[in-house]
Amino acid sequence: MTAQSPRSATLGIGLMLLGVFLFCINDAVGKWLVATYSVAQFLLIRSATTLLLLTPFIWRAGRAAFWNAPRPGLQLARCVLSTGEVVLFFWAVRYLPLADAITFYLAGPVYVTALSALLLKESVGWRRWAAVLIGFLGVVIALRPSAASLTLPALIALAGSVCFALLMIVTRMLRDTHDTVLMSTQMASTFVFGVVAAPLSWVTPSLYDLMFLSGFGAVSVVALFSINRSLKLAPASVVVPYQYTMLVWAILLGYVVFGDVPDRFMLAGSAIIVAAGLYIFHREQLVHPPIPSPVP
């Protein structure tokens, strides 16, 4: 085992920031594209491109990695959850400002902590339960404290964020599964959904739009690689908090590209959610400190 060097930590932070930025660019481009194309068509082309780029990794993993994947029932449940959360996200972002939709997804660590205690029987102390309740308060504020302003798109985004939290729980339960199997089956399930649903509202894309639709998958792969690599170069306690810069980019891109200005409820709710998420992460590091590992 070796200690992480300052250079590795700096590079890890840089890769985390890059990955988060690329995912936000993806979300902004996706919001623009789903204004013209159905979510199913958009996801069909994105997943097809991603699977094509993953082909060398799938080949390297080999057939045995897929046939011997543990707990097939949970693998199927994970595919359903991953497809559901991405469909719900881009369905919501079609009608909501980008920052609003991402705010609900940033509540994921709050949901994961609560669900870990309920589903995985993990021990959660009173401090983290307090942070969970405060995080839920942030979600309520972001939803707007008025029944008249509780819109269907907001509820769709909220449902998507819960699916995302369940996806994280199931992924934790399948942590012995090969990384390539997890990612490729996730993309394959989205592809199947697109094949079934896209023909119902197909719009032939222009060459210009097809470039964006195809490039979307390529950028997703680069973003995911950047984040995964950052976690190998630096401790999670150093790089994971930088994921919350996603909200900054979402607000900025939403304003510059779409003219969205977040209201005071969304800003206040976002601040509470981020604070609760950071505290939960801090407590997780104290309760379950990471074991140092060498950089490959």
Mean pLDDT by groups of 10 residues along the chain of 296 residues: 62 87 89 90 90 91 88 92 92 89 81 76 77 83 63 87 86 82 89 95 86 80 81 70 83 88 84 84 66 40
Q: What's the DSSP call for residue 290?
A: P
Buried b / exposed e across 174-210, counting CB within 10 Å, b at 16+?
A: beebbebbbbbbbbbbbbebbeebbeeeeeebeeebe
Predicted local confidence at residue 89, as pLDDT: 92
Residue 293 is predicted with a pLDDT of: 41
Residue 77 confidence (pLDDT): 94
Predicted confidence at residue 2, as pLDDT, reads 46
- pLDDT at position 129 is 82
| pLDDT at 174 (0 to 100) | 84
Please give the Cα distance from 98 to 215 (Å, whole number). Answer: 20
Q: Is 203 helix (H, G, I), strand (E, B) or coil?
A: coil
CB atoms within 10 A of CB 72: 9
Interatomic CA distance for residues 142 and 85, integer angstroms: 19
Per-residue model confidence (pLDDT) at position 183: 84
pLDDT value at position 292?
43
Whole-number Å distance between alpha carbons of 50 and 39? 16
